[in-house]
């Protein structure tokens, strides 16, 4: 479907939910997801049942992932400080968590407890008290992750209607201060439409991986490409090298590994590439132009040469798929070139940083004359007068 059609249809859903609240939400849930929930809010009993139904080994893996993501997130929260640029002037940086955030967890093709962990844990680590999860079809393992990660509410809604409900609120759903998390094209469009009224993290479109290597096991490289391609039929999986022989071996391994059907088969057919460049400089320049979501390289020495990537994996043992789950780094990452201007989701996305300014008599006398001169230079006589009255 064309992007313009998706945006038009999404705007209709968002406007309807904003205007009619729960009634519209129920109609769109029935129409698009085949759901007729008695309540949009998943009960504590159902969450507990999901936790109970999740195998012990999966619970252990969830707890490991939460522990590692929390360890990284704790270092990402901005720190308060006080600085005195001159005597009599004190500037404080204060850091306050947002009050309520909404975490979107896709639930269409696969259950994604990992995405719940990657959105809820940084929010809770940052100090957010009310963390709401929206998932169209929360499976037992997703509900288990919600309980373990500390989500306060789980909503059984998805798509553009879920984004609208969290952004504007309804009778049964309180509006949030920010919405984070990946989703399909309709979710991405809805996030764009509500962004002026409710902040979002960024657009997270179809997944991307670029592997740059001139050595290594071609089957491992091919396996990484296939793994990322299975996320979405529109995913991009690209291998770049300066060694034609390695490119040929990777191509052969890809042909042997690619499933006959499914998202990975479609993605590799449409957006899979094996690219041979003459020089390393040309290869790196091409990758910098792509600014991929995931970049895998074989040499740590090359890291400084890459200007834009959502995250970089270094070395043959650094399987990109591990980063989707248990390394501790966040897997909600910028796509479609957005890595040029920001990195992945972090605990810093869930706080507001502001300053408190205190001037004493000495302070205003020290910096006031220069401030008044600048106000005069800008032609703002009232600004200059308000300062000079204190001098």
Separation between Cα atoms, residue 251 and residue 221, nearest integer Å: 10
pLDDT greater at residue 203 or residue 311 = 311
Q: Average pLDDT over the chain, rounded to whole?
A: 95
pLDDT greater at residue 384 or residue 202 = 384
Q: Does 355 fall in a domain?
A: no
Catalytic, out of 293, 331, 378, 383: 293
Q: Which pLDDT belongs to residue 269?
A: 94
For 215-255, what is each residue's pLDDT tens digit? 999 999 999 999 999 988 999 999 999 999 999 999 999 99
Say if residues 314 and 323 touch (Cβ distance below 8 Å).
no
Q: Is the pLDDT of residue 36 over 80?
A: no
Residue 111's pLDDT band (cuts 50, 70, 90): confident
Decide if 378 is catalytic.
Answer: no
Q: Is the pLDDT of residue 360 over 90?
A: yes
**Across 307-320, average pLDDT:** 96
Rg (alpha carbons) of the chain, rounded to whole number: 25
Range picked from 22-31, 33-42, 357-366 for highest mean pLDDT: 357-366
Q: Does 353 fall in a domain?
A: no
* Domains in the chain, number: 3
Domain that holds residue 374: 360-388
pLDDT greater at residue 311 or residue 205 = 311
pLDDT greater at residue 356 or residue 202 = 356
Q: Is the pLDDT of residue 157 over 70?
A: yes
**Across 89-115, average pLDDT:** 94
Cα-based distances in Å from 9 to 28, 106, 122: 12, 19, 32
Q: Does 302 fall in a domain?
A: yes
Residues 225 and 311 in one domain: yes
For 228-238, what is each residue's pLDDT tens digit? 999 889 999 99
Per DSSP (E only), the strands in 242-319 are: 272-276, 294-297, 311-314
Q: Does 183 fall in a domain?
A: yes
- The domain boundary residue, chosen from 171, 202, 233: 202
Q: Which pLDDT belongs to residue 33?
A: 82
Residue 311's pLDDT band (cuts 50, 70, 90): very high
Q: Is the pLDDT of residue 34 over 90?
A: no
Q: Which pLDDT belongs to residue 205?
A: 82
Residue 60's pLDDT band (cuts 50, 70, 90): very high
Separation between Cα atoms, residue 278 and residue 297, nearest integer Å: 17
Q: Is the pLDDT of residue 37 over 70?
A: no
Ranking 29-43, 92-106, 301-315 by mean pLDDT, the lowest is: 29-43
Cα 176 to chain centroid distance, Å, stands at: 17
Q: Does 278 fall in a domain?
A: yes
Decide if 294 is catalytic.
Answer: yes
Catalytic, out of 74, 294, 331, 378: 294
- The domain boundary residue, chosen from 168, 187, 202: 202
For 80-89, what is each residue's pLDDT tens digit? 999 999 999 9
Q: Which pLDDT belongs to residue 294?
A: 97
Task: Write the DSSP string, 111-157.
Answer: --HHHHHHHHHHHHHHT-SEEEEE-SS--HHHHHHHHHHT-SEEE--
Separation between Cα atoms, residue 267 and residue 270, nearest integer Å: 5
Q: What pTM, to 2 d.p., does this model score?
A: 0.93
Residues 123 and 14 in one domain: yes
Q: Which pLDDT belongs to residue 1?
A: 56
Q: Is the pLDDT of residue 23 over 80?
A: yes
Residues 224 and 293 in one domain: yes
- The domain boundary residue, chosen from 167, 185, 202: 202
Residues 163 and 258 in one domain: no
Q: Is the pLDDT of residue 39 over 90?
A: no
Q: Does 345 fall in a domain?
A: no
Q: Does 269 fall in a domain?
A: yes
**Angle subtended at Cα 378 by Cα 376 and Cα 382, rounded to the nearest 5 degrees:** 55
Percent of the chain at pLDDT exceeding 90:
91
């Amino acid at each position: 479907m064309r992007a313009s059609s998706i945006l038009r249809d999404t705007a209709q859903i968002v406007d309807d939910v904003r205007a009619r609240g729960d009634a519209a939400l129920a109609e769109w849930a029935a129409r698009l997801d085949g759901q007729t929930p008695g309540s949009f809010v998943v009960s504590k009993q159902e969450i507990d049942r999901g936790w109970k139904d999740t195998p012990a080994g999966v619970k252990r893996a969830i707890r490991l992932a939460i522990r590692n993501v929390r360890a990284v997130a704790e270092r990402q929260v901005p720190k308060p400080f006080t600085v005195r640029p001159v005597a009599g002037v004190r500037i404080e940086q204060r850091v306050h968590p947002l009050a309520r955030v909404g975490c979107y967890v896709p639930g269409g093709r696969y259950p994604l407890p990992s995405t719940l962990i990657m959105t809820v844990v940084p929010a809770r680590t940052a100090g957010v008290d009310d963390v709401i999860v929206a998932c169209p079809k929360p499976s037992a393992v997703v509900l288990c992750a919600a309980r373990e990660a500390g989500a306060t509410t789980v909503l059984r809604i998805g798509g553009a209607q879920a984004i609208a409900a969290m952004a504007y609120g309804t009778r049964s759903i309180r509006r949030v201060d920010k919405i984070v998390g990946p989703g399909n094209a309709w979710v991405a469009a809805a996030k764009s439409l509500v962004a002026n009224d409710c902040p979002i993290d960024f657009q997270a479109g179809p997944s991307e991986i670029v592997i740059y290597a001139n050595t290594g096991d071609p089957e491992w490289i091919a396996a990484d490409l296939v793994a990322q391609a299975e996320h979405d039929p529109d995913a991009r999986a690209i291998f770049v090298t300066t060694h034609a022989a390695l490119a040929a071996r990777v191509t052969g391994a890809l042909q042997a590994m690619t499933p006959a059907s499914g998202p990975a088969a479609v993605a590799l057919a449409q957006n899979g590439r094996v690219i041979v460049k003459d020089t390393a400089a040309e290869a790196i320049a091409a990758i910098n132009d792509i600014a991929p979501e995931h970049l895998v390289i074989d040499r740590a020495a090359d890291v400084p040469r890459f200007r834009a990537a959502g995250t970089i994996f270094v070395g043959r043992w650094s399987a990109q798929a591990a980063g989707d789950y248990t390394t501790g780094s966040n897997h909600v990452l910028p796509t479609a070139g957005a890595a040029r201007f920001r990195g992945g989701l972090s605990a810093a996305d869930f706080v507001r940083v502001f300053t408190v300014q205190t001037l004493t008599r000495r302070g205003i006398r020290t910096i006031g004359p220069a401030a008044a001169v600048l106000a005069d230079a800008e032609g703002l006589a009232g600004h200059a007068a308000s300062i000079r009255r204190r001098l």
